[in-house]
Amino acid sequence: MFTRILITHSVYLFVVQDLEKSRQQLVTANRILANEGIIQGFGHVSVRHPDGDKMLISRSLSPGLVTEDDLMTMTFDGEIVENVDASPYLETVIHRAIYRNRDNVGAVVHHHAPQLMPFVASDTEIKPAFHMAALFHEGVPTFSDYDLDYGRLIATEEEGERMAEVLGEKRAQLLANHGANVTGSNIKEAILATKYLVMNAQYQFQAEQLGGTTYFDGPEEALENTIDDAILAQISVDRMWSFLSGRLP
């Protein structure tokens, strides 16, 4: 009996500590996205709750102003279970639909970075223009099947499911005439991937002005090795996170 109580208590402490870490990192992620100019007054980032069946996300607020007091806990069906009096973002279904359909996703970023706008407003595909963008070598699909009642916002459960279907198992997707969604297995990875997608869009656009882009490609196995052993190696993820968080005012 004592052993069972001890194990239960240890698991509880682990969940509590993991939750507090997730909350702190979510606040930092909001600040990073704002500081990097990826998210201005609009856009949002979420993280899967340690329980697995809920998510943490800020109330409807400019990301650069988010504190822990602004965080909400929401089920994947949209029920608010923490900070219930706060107003949520209209597009929380973006996050909820992805979590419902992707057990391997631990964090989601939705943004409208200026560098991506030429791509969401055209038929030009995002392709890896430098080695860090090997993350997206499988493609960045575009969702365009909106319910136009909300002016190309993702606001209904049905839209969210169609959007998640287009994303499939990819790391990121564009939303036609709107913005982008980026996923990660954890919040640090999602922020890193978001930053690299934005950088790639800028480099690809600039290279086209010089006469054409030489894309980063190669055998599938080599690209996956680049991702696993270099780009998403823990030391690389932590290094980029510390760089971005270290630039915060």
Higher pLDDT, residue 15 or 247: 247
- Establish if 56 belongs to a structural domain: yes
- Establish if 217 belongs to a structural domain: no
- Average of per-residue pLDDT across 69-92: 97
- Establish if 157 belongs to a structural domain: yes
pTM of full prediction above 0.85 = yes
- Establish if 168 belongs to a structural domain: yes
- Average of per-residue pLDDT across 72-87: 97
CA distance 126 to 142: 10
Token couple for 80: 């608010």
- Establish if 181 belongs to a structural domain: yes
- Establish if 218 belongs to a structural domain: no
| Domain carrying residue 47 | 2-124+137-186
Query: Does residue 102 carry a pLDDT above 50?
Result: yes
- Establish if 76 belongs to a structural domain: yes
Go through 24-53 and write b for each residue having 16 or more CB atoms within 10 A of its CB, e for each that does not.
Answer: ebbbbbbbbbbbbebbeeebbbbbbbbeee
pLDDT for res 25? 98
Residue 161's CATH number: 3.40.225.10
Q: How many structural domains is the chain composed of? A: 1
Least confident segment among 2-11, 129-138, 148-157: 2-11
- Establish if 200 belongs to a structural domain: no
